[in-house]
Amino acid sequence: MSAERLRQQLDFLVEIDRLKEIERQTRIVGGGRRENTAEHSWHLAMYALILAEHSNDDIDVLHVLTLCLVHDIVEIDAGDTFAYDASANTDKDERERRAAERLFGLLPADQAAFMWRLWEEYEAMETPESRFANAVDRMQPAMLNHVAGEASTWKEHAVTVPQAVKRLSPIGDGSATLWSHTQSIIDEAHRRGHIREE
Amino acid sequence: MSAERLRQQLDFLVEIDRLKEIERQTRIVGGGRRENTAEHSWHLAMYALILAEHSNDDIDVLHVLTLCLVHDIVEIDAGDTFAYDASANTDKDERERRAAERLFGLLPADQAAFMWRLWEEYEAMETPESRFANAVDRMQPAMLNHVAGEASTWKEHAVTVPQAVKRLSPIGDGSATLWSHTQSIIDEAHRRGHIREE
């Protein structure tokens, strides 16, 4: 085990501390502040651990957890792109790819390649594990918005029912049970006026 | 799959959002604010994932990750107990046990038992996985203090070399390599006056 290898690993682990400063749109349950991406990633991993039994397909839970922990690290350079902001989403791929090159490039080559594979797998949504990780990544902010009610980012950004359904329906590719529950959340938010008709 | 079971799981996942409000002593790398326990738990899981190869013993990485994600959830009720605060540590066990009863008790019985087993395993430090999880849990704040320098909580709380060695030496039970590196961090902090002689 070379000292240089450990140094690269620790440099990466110090650098990704910055994920604690990346602000998302969603608000935490207590108090009014917005959630940061590091604590979101922890929460997501807990969603995956507790809800794994609801996956449509058999999944390797370790693999889902690593996808949850790693997939947002590129936001350190690329920032969080609000899911309902169409214009910001046009150059999201390019921004995130440059971020992955710099950040994963801090690691020894084998671990950089491991991070790249995880991130690309997550984005492609082609494996059962990435479909389930994507499902909880969409459900967790929906749950926070459900709890926030009047203070939801759906209301703040005047999100419509068709927009919410488009954003959240991929939950069904990971879990029919969780998508069914999320639909009931959308219905209730619509009834209460937190999500607009159109 | 009963609707009641899913409701219990989601109640638990909403409740543990509160971990984002539990403040630790350590400061994040950028800016002056202190770290919260949710983002700390994410960072810890990343430490475990990237540094697993340095474990003294063969470890099941999924198991280490779940220990990292789950072991601090009791702080939602019990608060973070600063490692160098001897008086606060006297009733820590009792406070955390009551917290575990309430929080894990929100889950279906089988998952509550799973959480209890993880938490007790972490605390006992008897398995290779819990020794390695404890090692990174002690190393991560040491790394943040190393980066913080003058602003380290070691300096803020006038921590001494014997106190730091006592707190951090269990890193060696999980990883001789990581303990050797941490010793060099303690030495440097001592040389720079961030950790006192005694």
Residue B42 has pLDDT above 90, yes or no: yes
Note the pLDDT of residue B83.
83
**B-chain residues near A7 (CB < 8 A):** none
pLDDT score recorded for residue B77: 95
A109: which residues sit within 8 A by CB, 6+ positions away? none
Specify burial of residue A15 (Cβ count, 10 A radius: 0-12, 13-18, 19+): middle
Q: Which residue of A has its CA nearest to B112?
A: A50
Name, in order, each residue with C-beta under 8 angstroms of A110's C-beta and a sequence gap of 6 or more.
none
Task: Please tell me the predicted confidence (pLDDT) of residue A86.
Answer: 81
Stretch 111-150 of chain B: residues touching chain A, C-beta under 8 Å = 111, 140, 143-144, 147
User: What chain B residue is nearest to A142 in terms of C-alpha separation?
Assistant: B14
The answer to whether B43 contacts A13, with C-beta atoms less than 8 Å apart, is yes
Q: Convert the pLDDT of each residue in A89-105 to its tens digit.
A: 888 889 999 999 999 99
Residue A195 gets the label, from left (phi > 0), alpha (psi -120 to 50) or beta, of: beta
pLDDT digits (tens, 9 = 90+) for A184-196: 999 999 999 999 9
Which residues of chain A are within 8 Å of residue B142 when distances are taken between CB atoms? none
Q: What is the pLDDT of residues A54-79, one digit of tens each?
A: 999 999 999 999 999 999 999 999 99
pLDDT, chain A, mean: 95
Is residue A100 within 8 Å of A119, Cβ to Cβ?
yes
Band (pLDDT 50/70/90 cuts) for residue B1 is low
Instruction: Check whether B60 has a pLDDT greater than 80.
Output: yes
Helix axes A109-124, A92-104, angle to 10 degrees: 160
Q: How many helices (H) and strands (E) does chain A have?
A: 11, 2
Quick one: pLDDT at residue A92?
87
- Residue A61, burial from CB neighbour count under 10 angstroms (0-12, 13-18, 19+): middle
Residue B32: per-residue pLDDT: 81
pLDDT in tens, B3-35: 999 999 999 999 999 999 999 999 999 878 999
Tell me the C-alpha to C-alpha distance, in Å, between residue A66 and each of A111, A131, B27. 13, 13, 25
Q: How confident is the model at residue A84 (pLDDT cuts 50, 70, 90)?
A: confident
Can you give the pLDDT at residue A90? 82
- Residues 6 or more apart whose Cβ sits within 8 Å of residue B155: B193, B194, B195
B190 interfacial to chain A (CB closer than 8 Å) = no
A64: contact with B, CB 8 A cutoff: no
B19 in contact with A at a CB cutoff of 8 Å? yes
Is a pLDDT exceeding 70 seen at residue A41? yes
Q: Give the tens place of pLDDT for each residue, A160-184.
A: 999 999 999 999 999 999 999 999 9
Taking residues A131-143, report their average pLDDT.
Answer: 98
Which chain B residues are within 8 Å of A9, Cβ to Cβ? 50-51
**pLDDT for A31 beyond 80:** no
Q: How close is the nearest chain B Cα to the Cα of A154, in Å?
A: 18
Average pLDDT (B149-162) is: 94
The answer to whether B179 faces chain A, any CB pair under 8 Å, is: no
Mean pLDDT, residues A136-164 taken together: 95
Q: Is the pLDDT of residue A15 over 90?
A: yes
CB of B110 less than 8 A from some CB of A: no
Identify the residue among A37, A42, A55, A143 best suited for mutation to test binding to B, counting B beta carbons within 10 A and taking the highest. Answer: A42
- Hey, of B2, B4, B13, B60, which one would you mutate to test binding to chain A, going by the most A CBs within 10 A of its CB? B13
Among B46, B63, B107, B171, the residue to mutate for chain A (most A Cβ within 10 A):
B46
The pLDDT confidence band at residue B88, using thresholds 50, 70 and 90, is confident
Q: Is A39 on the interface with B (CB under 8 A)?
A: yes
pLDDT at residue A1 greater than cutoff 70: no
Give the closest of A13, A69, A107 to B143, CB-based.
Answer: A13
